[in-house]
Structure 1
């Protein structure tokens, strides 16, 4: 079997029983279960959700996106072997630690397979909740150009690239296009201030103004917990993105929870501690792949300039990356996942067949 066959690239064609269109994102596909199947599983499995809660099967893939494009490799490789399993394993680990430490629950109810989550429907808070402990990436690029205010926070003069910030910064941005909010452009991923959120908390889907403080507390506590655990492995938690939403439990209580993914190489920057102390940044995250792409193509502005999206999409479509590049990315993802979880990431020979078998035999979700 070729390595390309071990990649789960297409994840929106599983024969899962559903009466709604499959929603496919850059990495995950979501299958909303029928009302009957949702109700049956809640009863059979004893999930702590309202009995009429909609449930979904969320299937991760091994696709890799960067700069808003999906990339592929030579030899028919449509993704990175082990990437999906690594991302899920890391998120599962952190979500469990959050719950065990009394922070908040997540949207995950069950994990039938390394590629699969059973999740409850959540009403998302329309904020990409970003925390930064070091100045690097887009913040550094803006700082060099003379910008000193980020999301209403004033940065001091004299900061140096890749160094620790004076304090942990929360720099939120919009999740999706939000219209009609004064001072906030109707664009995805626009930086916003705390005052923007306070003045328009309902537009961001907060149930109350006090929940803004709660989300900030959960963001900071989650960041600190992951940062502390990574420090034990001599890894540095640089920055990350969290997402939040509301769910209702079996007793009818509304809860603010963590959702999407947390502390993964896709949503965070993680640096090797010993290399950093020697003056070198070694990424254990997707940032390493981004840097590789910037170095690989002769005109990196195509990847950084949003006005050149057509050219960027053509680059991703027309250029198969060397297999060695994708295998190096695989080693990064599986390596950091095994460090964090203490368990081996097994690269399945046929992940799709395994998922179908489990969902048919153990969950009765496939006709």
Structure 2
């Protein structure tokens, strides 16, 4: 199936192009950004060799919907979405931290806990917890942002301030926005029969100094969801939770001997497996948004994107 793995457009007044793990960002006249969500799949901070059909569209459309559902709480960078894979917004200078917030002891936190650690990013984790138990209060466990292919690293609030990565005044705003967004995201998830387990937010400053939410929000790439129905019963029986995130990809990679460590090779993904991942992403979209997914035309994605972006800038 046709996927979009790489772009190399030359838009009017384009000044630069940045390629992240999944998104490609075109700077227009140092005022606006054209962000293209590709179909690249990243896990363990490694980009997989094959793309996933519709993945970029799914991430872009979930993020757009969630930005609109939270803009009364936290200002964001978004101006328009002229194409299923494209978001256009204000140029921002990103903060070099990802604001990770965890309501439950899952994923990375659970892996650290199993190793005997009771402190994550300078935040204590209570004794006697089981994997996927709810924390008494959500905890913020920031990570330093990595360039493509490098691992993001855990960092404490104290280190962020001590190293001058973010000023104390700005960091207070980031923490406040993170908690508000997570609260709203949890309410939206609950209305869909889901639990928002953990997620990450990224922020930047506009040219006039306003702190705004950027990048994606509440997508299956940036967030972990559980199905609410049966959650407690599964916890009581010590069973794995029914997840709605890309954790299923990570688990498949682990089962096939890959966790992003040096010397490991990414396992071959068959066409059938790629299609099954695409179907899971569509399921994620419909569960998270409550909308039926409408597949975009894949016959020539590059031409479609270019035409829609040029039409917007007319």
TM-score by length of 1: 0.77
Q: Give, in angstroms, the shift of residue 84 of structure 1.
A: 0.8
Matches within 5 A, 1:181-220: 189-200=152-163, 203-206=164-167, 209-220=168-179
Q: Give, in angstroms, the shift of residue 19 of structure 1.
A: 4.8
User: 2: distance between equivalents of 1:130 and 1:171?
Assistant: 5
User: 1: distance between equivalents of 2:187 and 2:141?
Assistant: 21
The one-character-per-residue Cα deviations of 1:226-274 (angstroms, maximum 9, x if unpaired) are 11110111111111111111114xxx5x211111111110011111222
User: 2: distance between equivalents of 1:125 and 1:214?
Assistant: 12
The reply on whether 1:169 has 2:139 as its aligned counterpart is yes
Aligned equivalent of 2:37: 60
The structure richer in helix per residue is: 1
Which of 216, 230, 247 aligns to 1:287? It is 247
The structure richer in strand per residue is: 2
Say whether the 8 Å CA contact 2:39–2:56 is kept in structure 1. Answer: yes
The one-character-per-residue Cα deviations of 1:278-337 (angstroms, maximum 9, x if unpaired) are 414222111111111111x1xx3x4153xx1xx33xx23xx4312232222222222222
Which of 82, 85, 92 aligns to 1:112? It is 82
Say whether the 8 Å CA contact 2:45–2:151 is kept in structure 1. Answer: no
> What SS does structure 2 have at the residue aligned with 1:8?
coil
Matches within 5 A, 1:329-348: 329-347=277-295, 348=297
**Cα distance change on mapping 1:14 and 1:256 into 2, 3 Å:** same
Aligned equivalent of 2:310: 360
User: 1: distance between equivalents of 2:13 and 2:313?
Assistant: 14
Aligned equivalent of 1:135: 105
> What SS does structure 2 have at the residue aligned with 1:81?
coil
Aligned equivalent of 1:32: 27
**Cα distance change on mapping 1:362 and 1:213 into 2, 3 Å:** closer
Aligned equivalent of 1:303: 259
Q: Give, in angstroms, the shift of residue 69 of structure 1.
A: 2.1
The one-character-per-residue Cα deviations of 1:118-175 (angstroms, maximum 9, x if unpaired) are 1221111111101011112221122112111112222222111111112110111212
The one-character-per-residue Cα deviations of 1:72-127 (angstroms, maximum 9, x if unpaired) are 4xxxxx3111111111111111111111xx32221221111111111221111111
Moved over 6 A (4+): none
> What SS does structure 2 have at the residue aligned with 1:161?
coil
> What SS does structure 1 have at the residue aligned with 2:109?
helix
Aligned equivalent of 1:91: 63
User: 2: distance between equivalents of 1:341 and 1:143?
Assistant: 32
| Unpaired stretches in structure 2, ≥5 consecutive residues | 235-239
TM-score by length of 2: 0.89
Aligned equivalent of 1:264: 219
Query: Which protein is bigger by CA-based radius of gyration?
Result: 1
Which has the higher mean CA deviation after the structures are superposed, 323-332 or 119-128?
323-332
> What SS does structure 1 have at the residue aligned with 2:245?
coil
Number of residue pairs aligned between Structure 1 and Structure 2: 305
RMSD: 2.1
User: 2: distance between equivalents of 1:89 and 1:19?
Assistant: 24
**Cα distance change on mapping 1:145 and 1:325 into 2, 3 Å:** same
| Unpaired stretches in structure 1, ≥5 consecutive residues | 36-52, 73-77, 178-186
User: 2: distance between equivalents of 1:294 and 1:114?
Assistant: 32
User: 1: distance between equivalents of 2:45 and 2:162?
Assistant: 30
Which has the higher mean CA deviation after the structures are superposed, 277-286 or 234-243?
277-286
